[in-house]
Amino acid sequence: MNRDLHNYRKSYEKYFLEEENLPETPLTLFTKWFKEVEEAPGVEEANAMTIATKGNDGFPKSRIVLLKKYDEDGFVFFTNYASEKAKAMDNDPNVCISFFWPNLERQVIIKGIISKTSEAESIAYYNSRPRGSRLGAWASNQSEEITSRAILEEKLKALEEQFKDKEIPKPEHWGGYRVQPISYEFWQGRPNRLHDRILYSQVKDNWNFVRLAP
């Protein structure tokens, strides 16, 4: 089957990036963009981000996770520490996270070094999750092969009975990761494919930015 997609065309004309209006720190610009995306219609989960890792099989792999916190210390998400991506990150802490916000014709690409959050931070977030999500962290051996969905449903039902009227402790195999950025690339769509690309790179304790050709 051959499907021709040559007729997919869109002109990006909503916003622009000019050097004289850029802040000194990329986190300031990220915060501004994130707020604008939250307030604009068209994206249900502004915090959905792609994280790319180098797998232990030598292949890169990307998947969507949900950003749960960001500040000067980095970008935080939570997952199963025994998952495929966790094993890849344990082996190689160099990762890339990216955000695509088509409603405002924007992307942000962040390279960084990943590390686990503190146990206290992981517990605090785990306890804030809905009860069903907390049980789900126990029910799924993430990335492991299973023979059917029924196995998950049966395990969840057993866990609901096990923890009925009880607190649900955080599993040892579940917790947070923090990406500490070393570079940010801000991409703003522009007409004629002459998009704005601004790259911030960290130099010691400061950030420098340059413009990249689209």
Confidence of residue 194 (pLDDT cuts 50, 70, 90): very high
- Catalytic hit among 149, 193, 197, 211: 193
Exposure on the CB side of residue 53, measured as CA atoms within 13 A: 21
Taking alpha carbons only, the member of 51, 91, 55, 87 closest to residue 68 is: 51
What average pLDDT does the segment 11-22 reach?
94
Write b or e for each residue in 110-146: b if 16 or more Cβ atoms lie within 10 A of its Cβ, otherwise e.
bbbebeebeeebbbebbeebeeeebbbbbbbebeeee
pLDDT in tens, 83-98: 999 999 999 999 999 9
Average pLDDT of the chain is 96
| Distance between CA atoms of residues 163 and 9, nearest Å | 53
**Cβ(81)–Cβ(173) below 8 Å:** yes
pLDDT of the residue at 1? 85
In the residue annotation, 193 being an active-site residue is answered as yes
What average pLDDT does the segment 120-149 reach?
94
pLDDT in tens, 33-70: 999 999 999 999 999 999 999 998 999 999 999 999 99
pLDDT in tens, 115-124: 999 999 999 9
Confidence of residue 182 (pLDDT cuts 50, 70, 90): very high
Confidence of residue 144 (pLDDT cuts 50, 70, 90): confident
**Cβ(181)–Cβ(201) below 8 Å:** no
**Cβ(98)–Cβ(49) below 8 Å:** yes
